[in-house]
Amino acid sequence: MKQATTGLLLVVSGPAGVGKGTINAELMKRHPEVRMSVSATTRAPRPGEVEGVHYFFKTPEEFRRMIDEDAFLEYMHVFGMNYYGTPRAYVTEQLALGNHVILEIDVNGARKVKQSFPEAIRIFIAPPSLAELRARLEGRGTETPEQIERRTQEAYAELKDMPNCDYVIVNDDLETAVRELEAIVAAERCSVPHNTEVINNFLGGIES
Ligand code: ADP
Ligand code: 5GP
């Protein structure tokens, strides 16, 4: 009997600068069956960001058209200025192919996904401390001091969502954090809720 063939939907959240992108990139390097959903956004590309790799960059008009077409699994105004959204088609396609899909979205988006997709697994990446979080944001060098200030304030609100998640990983040592994420994926693949088809096949065989 084969293990479940549909993939896992992994919703990874945590404050900006905590290391979500770094951890997810490492997981994908090690596991080719792990895919990253590419979000759409109306914010301007940062230096080095590539269309279709980091985001699909949209005008507000294009984004609103996608909302009207119900093309998003979830979307929202994250910082009151820009839209961010998860295109639905890629996620459902990849899960059906048996690939695991990572959504790297804010906590409000994560909550919405869990409501419409209860089998999604919510993983919160926490910093070892708030001081270290700020140091990483500064070290990344992609935000202005004002943006760093705002994102640090946002971090407090995001951290409050930790109890609503299924797992928490503290990203202190990077290798440990990646191994913990690998362990979560391995365990969830074998979980009873993810293997109902396998279980029902066995039970059906016994009953008939
Ligand atoms: P996020 O995707 O959560 O915004 P990034 O992955 O861009 O965060 O990481 C922010 C910065 O912190 C990057 O410069 C990255 O290299 C660094 N970083 C990530 N994980 C660690 C870690 N465990 N220890 C030290 N620095 C880290
Ligand atoms: P950034 O501008 O740094 O790339 O992302 C800002 C915030 O938007 C981050 O918290 C990120 O997780 C979130 N985000 C990115 N894509 C999406 C998305 O598709 N949906 C939601 N809800 N949030 C997203």
pLDDT in tens, 99-119: 999 999 988 899 999 998 999
| pLDDT the model gives residue 87 | 97
What pLDDT, on a 0 to 100 scale, did the predictor assign at position 143? Answer: 84
CB of 17 within 6 A of ligand 1: the answer is: yes
Average pLDDT of the residues of the chain: 92
User: Is the confidence at residue 1, as pLDDT, over 70?
Assistant: no
Read off the DSSP letter of residue 206. H
Mutate to test the pocket of ligand 2, among 51, 75, 78, 116 (most ligand atoms within 8 A of CB): 78
| Residue 109 Cα: closest atom of ligand 2 | 22
Task: Please state, in angstroms and rounded to a whole number, the distance separating the CA atoms of residues 158 and 126.
Answer: 10
Contacts of 104 (CB under 8 A, 6+ apart): 12, 13, 20, 21, 24, 36, 37, 39
Q: Which atom of ligand 2 is nearest to the CA of 20?
A: 12
User: Up-side HSE of residue 152: CA atoms within 13 Å toward CB?
Assistant: 17
pLDDT > 80? residue 79: no
- C-alpha angle with apex 89: 88 to 91, nearest 5 degrees? 70
Q: How far apart are the first and last CA of the chain?
A: 17
Q: Which ligand gives the minimal distance to the CA of 132? A: 1
Q: Strands of 83-87's sheet, edge to edge?
A: 56-57, 40-41, 83-87, 72-77
> Exposed, middle or buried, 129 (CB in 10 Å: 0-12/13-18/19+)?
exposed
Q: Kindly report, residue by residue over 178-194, the tens digit of the pLDDT.
A: 999 999 999 999 999 99
Q: In this structure, are residues 84 and 40 in contact, taking their beta carbons and an 8 Å threshold?
A: yes
Neighbours of 195 (CB within 10 A): 16
Q: Enter the tokens of residue 125.
A: 């990446």
Count the neighbouring beta carbons within 10 Å of the beta carbon of residue 169: 24
The predicted structure's pLDDT at residue 204 = 86
The larger pLDDT score, comparing residue 137 to residue 69, is at 69
* Tens of pLDDT, residues 17-74: 899 999 999 999 999 999 999 999 999 999 999 999 999 999 999 999 999 999 999 9
pLDDT over 50 (residue 83): yes
| CA distance linking residue 120 with residue 91, whole number of Å | 12
177 CA: nearest ligand 1 atom: 23
